[in-house]
């Protein structure tokens, strides 16, 4: 186990967003101080989110509206992970999509061809108006005809401004049930997402810390990747939730403001 002093000494920090940096449109306490400490100490860091709704540019603008300036390159989303996965699996990937701008933009950037004519992949992410009964029927039909079902993350819910809101794990479930096929989740806790970020930062897992509010995605995924872990109690999980888990965080704090020395 790694204590808080050892965690502070790590070279790189991967930071979840929902429930760690903000709740919906509300910035959480201590975030500005924590980010100032990271910069002052010369730490490497990336915001790593399972939310596929927003593009990195939109996430940058969203934080700017909360008084935090971070460039788009500071963000890695499950939408980007889905696009990267498609290009690793196929030389000329094609896909049909239920998702918002973040997912569509990520796939376009990686030249994944969008089509409903025998696509190689059926990809599901967070969405609003795109998630309809017709879309679910179409997705189930494409999967039953051979499209490989991918979901950006397995989260059933996430913290919104005023309470929990449905996430991709809940949205893809009807398609799984109708088609009889299980989705492959590319986001956290999939170690592929963590390793992609670590490679981008140029660090080994033993040099990094994952900070998150979800035991099932942030902490489990980081443990399976070999990273140190800090659970913050400002989001999805409580200390009570840790009991009975085969894995557990190295450090538990109330929020990121408690991490700097």
The catalytic residues are: 16, 18
How far is residue 177 CA from its own chain's centroid? 24
Using CB atoms within 10 Å of the CB of residue 239, give its burial: 0 to 12 exposed, 13 to 18 middle, 19+ buried.
Answer: exposed
Rounded Cα distance between 45 and 176, Å, is: 35
Could you tell me which of 172, 185, 6 has the C-alpha nearest to residue 85?
A: 185
User: Most distant CA pair in the chain: distance in Å?
Assistant: 56
- How would you label 222-238 residue by residue, b for 16+ Cβ within 10 Å and e otherwise? bbebebbbbbbbbbbbe
Would you say 234 and 39 are in contact if contact means Cβ atoms under 8 Å apart?
A: no
Could you identify the residue written with the tokens 């989260």?
Answer: 155
* All residues at 6 or more sequence positions from 50 whose CB lies less than 8 Å from its CB, including other chains: 16, 18, 77, 78, 152, 153, 155, 158, 167, 168, 187, 188, 217
* All residues at 6 or more sequence positions from 243 whose CB lies less than 8 Å from its CB, including other chains: none
């Amino acid at each position: 186990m790694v204590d808080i002093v050892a965690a502070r000494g790590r070279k790189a920090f991967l930071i979840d967003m929902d429930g760690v940096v903000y709740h919906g449109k509300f910035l959480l306490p201590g975030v500005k101080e924590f980010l100032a400490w990271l910069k002052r100490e010369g730490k490497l860091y990336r915001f790593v989110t399972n939310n596929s709704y927003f593009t990195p540019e939109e996430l940058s603008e969203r934080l700017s509206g909360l008084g935090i300036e971070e460039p788009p390159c500071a963000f890695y989303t499950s939408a980007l992970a889905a696009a990267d996965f498609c290009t690793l699996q196929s030389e000329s990937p094609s896909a049909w999509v239920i998702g918002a701008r973040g997912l569509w933009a990520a796939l376009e950037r990686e030249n994944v061809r969008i089509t409903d004519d025998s696509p190689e992949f059926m990809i599901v992410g967070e969405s609003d108006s795109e998630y309809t009964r017709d879309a679910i029927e179409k997705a189930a039909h494409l999967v039953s005809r051979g499209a490989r079902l991918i979901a950006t993350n397995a989260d059933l819910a996430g913290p919104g401004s005023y309470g929990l809101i449905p996430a991709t794990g809940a949205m893809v479930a009807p398609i799984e049930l109708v088609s009889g096929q299980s989705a492959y989740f590319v986001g956290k806790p999939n170690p592929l997402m963590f390793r992609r970020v670590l490679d981008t930062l140029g660090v080994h897992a033993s040099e990094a810390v994952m900070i998150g509010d979800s035991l099932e995605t942030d902490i489990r995924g980081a443990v399976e990747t070999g990273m140190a872990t800090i659970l913050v109690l400002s989001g999805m999980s409580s200390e009570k939730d840790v009991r009975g888990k085969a894995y557990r965080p190295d450090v538990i704090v109330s929020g990121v403001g408690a991490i700097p020395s």
